[in-house]
Amino acid sequence: MSSVRGEFSSRFGFIMAAAGSAVGLGNIWGFPTQTASNGGAAFVLVYLVLAFCLAYPALMAELVIGRHGQANAVSSLKKIAPNQPKAAFVVGFGGIICAGLILSFYAIVAGWMLSATLSPIAEISQLSATATWLNTQSLGRDLIFTAIFIMMTIAIISKGVENGIEKWSKRLMPALLGILAALIAYVLTQDGAEAGLKAYLVPDFSQILNPDLLVSALGQAFFSLSLGTSVMIIYGSYISKQENLVSLGAYVTLIDVLIAFVAGLLIIPAMYVAQEQGVQIFSETGALLSEDTLVFQVLPALFNSMGDIGYLVALAFFALMSIAALTSSISMLEAPVSYTVENFGMNRLQATWIIGGLISIISFVIVFNFSTLFGFVISLTTQFGQPLIGMLCCIFVGWMWSRHKLLTEIQMGYGDVEHSVFWKIWPWYIKFVCPIAIALVFFNSL
């Protein structure tokens, strides 16, 4: 067992790393696409409510488990429920497996982004249909770029918490914000952008209680905050006892939601601009024709229409996607690596290469059996694994831990938490509201 654990060196470092995990393809691709296919602004509204009222409390549960345990997910859960070592193992290890499996498909998509960043614009615009993009001819490219992306992730994680995760998150997250702002400024000046803004910001209230919309919004919020994967437990374990967990968790949620919202300001208007330019994005009823249209049709069409500058904008956009994916993928790799290092006493470099290698093999198997496995692994992890494990983490904190010990942990770095609004609401939330709401959504998605 290694005795020297890493720790984030600063508050800013933690926020960038955890927000880096949260902000990813889920925000820039997933959220706007879900918004466009679920009735526009109504989805945005429901998402905001669920993110703050359900995902934030669940995030706090995972962070507090880790900060208390100061160890990998399995050991941290065992510390909370010493009488339930098997349950702690199942939940912690389940989360770790979930993180590894998510990385195995996420790396493939991130590889597409990476290859698009590096390929000339002419080639991107030929890839106007998902079918073309995913045909056998791109098998070699998928394999190579998936491998390159996983190697980049390995390179960062092998350097540890402060010199790897924290250092790179602090560099990459501001770069991401800059690129996003520049792209929005461009798109909003184009014809058609106004109609897009309206669809994005003016809700159709009749849609709000639609059960499909609720299921999609909660699933999206869980994926976006990286819940149910042990990732936030392990990131929580690197937070010093002097920090105020409640506000750190709130910052991470706020940044995640804000970036998803801002990405929508780019992507939804871009869809309408592309439609204006003759690309078929929506059907006659106003429904999104395909969820894949966004990256494979809308954006390439938009970049093409820009003339010479289009190449640069495409480069910026795909670089943005690759960066967002990288700060998320490092967190997914850290979950199994920290477990292996601490449980088997392996050194970090070895552990990172072994786990990274295993995940690459799973990714390659998915690439070779794309039509059967890709969708299956996504559903298995995001529709089943994440909600289930997220719910179990809430149950661990709410039901298996003494309220007094929980209070002591939250109080560190906070002060008088006992009289705060947070403490009046959150423990009840974790005990009842979160597990029940998550279970409802979970069974609904079955």
> Does 26 contact ligand PFF by CB under 6 A?
yes
The residue range among 147-155, 206-214, 221-229, 401-409 that interacts with ligand PFF, by the rule CB under 6 A, is: 221-229
> Does 101 contact ligand PFF by CB under 6 A?
no
Angle at 176 between CA 164 and CA 298, to 5 degrees: 130
Which residues lie across from 288 on neighbouring strands? 282
Amino acid at 364: F
> Does 236 contact ligand PFF by CB under 6 A?
no
Q: Out of 38, 104, 229, 237, which residue is the one contacting ligand PFF (CB under 6 A)? A: 229
The residue range among 150-158, 220-228, 244-252, 310-318 that interacts with ligand PFF, by the rule CB under 6 A, is: 220-228
Nearer to ligand PFF, 26 or 164 (CB): 26
> Does 22 contact ligand PFF by CB under 6 A?
yes
Tokens 């208007």 correspond to 269
Q: Out of 99, 116, 302, 367, which residue is the one contacting ligand PFF (CB under 6 A)? A: 99
Rounded to a whole number of angstroms, the minimum distance from the CB of residue 139 to ligand PFF is 25
Concatenate the DSSP letters of all residues of 98-137 into one string.
HHHHHHHHHHHHHHHHHHHHHS-HHHHHH--SHHHHTSGG
3-state secondary structure of 282: strand
Question: What number of other Cβ atoms are within 10 A of residue 242's Cβ?
Answer: 8
> Does 21 contact ligand PFF by CB under 6 A?
yes
Q: Out of 43, 112, 133, 223, which residue is the one contacting ligand PFF (CB under 6 A)? A: 223
> Does 328 contact ligand PFF by CB under 6 A?
yes
3-state secondary structure of 288: strand
Alpha-carbon distance of 186 to 73, in angstroms, equals 43
> Does 24 contact ligand PFF by CB under 6 A?
yes
Nearer to ligand PFF, 97 or 433 (CB): 97
Q: Out of 16, 17, 19, 25, which residue is the one contacting ligand PFF (CB under 6 A)? A: 25
Amino acid at 255: I
C-alpha gyration radius of the chain: 21
Is residue 28 left, alpha or beta, with left meaning phi > 0 and alpha meaning psi from -120 to 50? alpha
Nearer to ligand PFF, 110 or 301 (CB): 110
Angle at 379 between CA 152 and CA 314, to 5 degrees: 45
> Does 332 contact ligand PFF by CB under 6 A?
yes
The residue range among 17-25, 161-169, 396-404, 428-436 that interacts with ligand PFF, by the rule CB under 6 A, is: 17-25
Nearer to ligand PFF, 73 or 299 (CB): 73
Name the nearest CA neighbour of 373 among 364, 384, 385. 364
Residue count at the site for ligand PFF (CB under 6 A)?
A: 16
> Does 383 contact ligand PFF by CB under 6 A?
no
Buried residues in 398-425 as b, exposed as e (16+ CB within 10 A): bebbeeeebeebbebbbeebeeeebbee
Nearer to ligand PFF, 328 or 360 (CB): 328
Residues written for the chain: 446
> Does 318 contact ligand PFF by CB under 6 A?
no
Q: Are 136 and 368 in contact (CB under 8 A)?
A: no
Rounded to a whole number of angstroms, the minimum distance from the CB of residue 228 to ligand PFF is 8
Rounded to a whole number of angstroms, the minimum distance from the CB of residue 386 to ligand PFF is 7
Alpha-carbon distance of 280 to 286, in angstroms, equals 11
Amino acid at 128: S
Segment 178 to 207, residues that bind ligand PFF, using CB under 6 A: none
> Does 219 contact ligand PFF by CB under 6 A?
no
Give the single-character DSSP code of 346: -
> Does 331 contact ligand PFF by CB under 6 A?
yes
Nearer to ligand PFF, 26 or 356 (CB): 26
Q: Are 409 and 64 in contact (CB under 8 A)?
A: yes
Which residues lie across from 282 on neighbouring strands? 288
Phi, psi angles (nearest 5°) of residue 282: -110, 150
- Which residues are at the interface with ligand PFF (CB under 6 A)? 21-22, 24-27, 99, 102, 223-224, 226, 229, 231, 328, 331-332
